Chain A
Amino acid sequence: AQSVSQHNHHVILSEAASLELGCNYSYGGTVNLFWYVQYPGQHLQLLLKYFSGDPLVKGIKGFEAEFIKSKFSFNLRKPSVQWSDTAEYFCAVNAGGNTGKLIFGQGTTLQVKP
């Protein structure tokens, strides 16, 4: 069965620190990969997505992610975090075609201290 694993459950950083959140998936075929963010009290918002082409994907708010097929990974990065980045981050996979059915990782809580 397809699964998504996020290694970091709770990350605490100071403002201006660099961020990298790990995401690994298990599926041998073609995948579409997503990172979503959920700010406190708000709904899920798409940060970025990958489905083909350049494995380095740039998203909103300065986030980027790199798809490394050989490692089954799609790590999220940001060079310099801000207090406003405090949120829950979810990696998700849509495996096997354009079904729209997403399998989510466990989520990572990011807390940025001012």
Chain B
Amino acid sequence: GAVVSQHPSRVICKSGTSVKIECRSLDFQATTMFWYRQFPKKSLMLMATSNEGSKATYEQGVEKDKFLINHASLTLSTLTVTSAHPEDSSFYICSARTGVVHTIYFGEGSWLTVV
């Protein structure tokens, strides 16, 4: 079946540095991918919609200059957390929409810890 893969699954970075998380659709083309953030014991919060070949659409309250999203191809979207701070530590999850109606697959998620 369709699979969405995220890399890295866990990353630790120092405050002030940038870190990139990749989201790949392994066996289908995803024109649209979504990035969510999940705090411990909390629900998923949609951060942005990533569209192949165009700028991402950010949800209200999400800093687009801090969370850079690039959707360079039909199988890859990247989320770059710039100038990371400890409060950016979280679980980031991507999802991808296939061409089949209402079919959405989630990646395994990436744990980011900023120290």
A residues with CB within 8 A of B: 32, 36, 42-46, 49, 51, 90, 94, 98-107, 109
Contacts and interface: CB of A to CB of B under 8 A. Distances in A.
B110 to A, nearest CB: 10
Contacts of A104: 36, 43-46
Nearest to A49: B102
Contacts, number: 52
Which 7 interchain pairs have the tightest Cβ spacing?
A100-B97, A43-B108, A44-B106, A104-B44, A104-B43, A106-B43, A107-B43
Interface of B: 32, 34, 36, 41-46, 49, 93, 95, 97, 101-102, 104, 106-109
Contacts of B109: 43
A102 B93 contact: no
A43 B41 CA distance: 14
A10 B14 CA distance: 35
Dominant secondary structure at the A interface: loop
Contact of B34 (A51, A98, A102): A102
Contacts of B106: 36, 43-45
Contacts of B108: 42-43
Given A43-B108, A107-B43, A101 B102 contact: no
B102 A102 contact: no
Given A98-B102, A101-B34, 8 more contacts: A43-B93, A43-B106, A43-B107, A44-B93, A98-B101, A100-B32, A106-B43, A107-B41
